[in-house]
Amino acid sequence: MAQRLALQRLLSLPTRGLLAPHGRALGTSAGRRSTFNVQDGSDFQDRVVKSPKPVVVDFHAQWCGPCKILGPRLEKLVAKLEGKVLMAKVDIDDHTDLAIEYEVSAVPTVLAMKNGDVVDKFVGIKDEDQLEAFLKKLIGA
């Protein structure tokens, strides 16, 4: 009975934004909308390959320590660009087919895509200055 009351109280609390599948809150700012999780191959085609904007594709895994450092760092820099570039997150364990198609042999692997083509790529963790240079090159700034 006490557990039920605690659950009811928890469910009645106001939420701030929506909860993502992995429990992280999703805000509604323009920067947050620039980053999305790829749902399947069709979603990747529609939102990445056919995107009119440049897209940074972050191939990562839940068990990857460096991915947990790089992902938020990259998301923050993409958000600063206010919609000039999008960021697609691809979990290699959920989307092995995409990892194979794009020759991802280690994580994190980050691709820069324009007009459906891979124009740049890096593997491993980078500091913020290196990431900024990577993004500026992608958007032509």
Average pLDDT over all residues of the chain: 84
pTM: 0.77
Question: Is position 129 annotated as part of the catalytic site?
Answer: no
Query: Could you give phi then psi for residue 121, rounded to 5 degrees?
Result: -165, 150
Confidence bin at 33 (pLDDT 50/70/90): confident
Question: Is position 92 annotated as part of the catalytic site?
Answer: no
Annotated domain spans of the chain: 35-139
Q: Token digits for 110?
A: 């980050």
Packed helices 128-139 and 65-80: angle between N→C axes, nearest 10 degrees: 50
| pLDDT at residue 21 is higher than 50 | no
More confident residue, 31 or 54: 54
The tens digit of pLDDT for each residue in 34-78 reads 999 999 999 999 999 999 999 999 999 999 999 999 999 999 999
The tens digit of pLDDT for each residue in 120-140 reads 999 999 999 999 999 999 998
The tens digit of pLDDT for each residue in 78-96 reads 999 999 999 999 999 999 9
Catalytic residue among 38, 48, 67, 135: 67
CA distance 133 to 56: 13
In Å, how far from its chain's centre is CA 134?
16
> Is residue 88 exposed (0-12), middle (13-18) or buried (19+ Cβ within 10 Å)?
buried
Find out whether 86 and 35 touch, Cβ atoms under 8 Å: yes
Superfamily of domain 35-139: Glutaredoxin (3.40.30.10)
Catalytic residue among 38, 48, 64, 104: 64
Confidence bin at 23 (pLDDT 50/70/90): very low
Identify whether 72 is preceded by a cis peptide bond (ω within 30 of 0). Answer: no
Mean pLDDT score, 9-19: 43
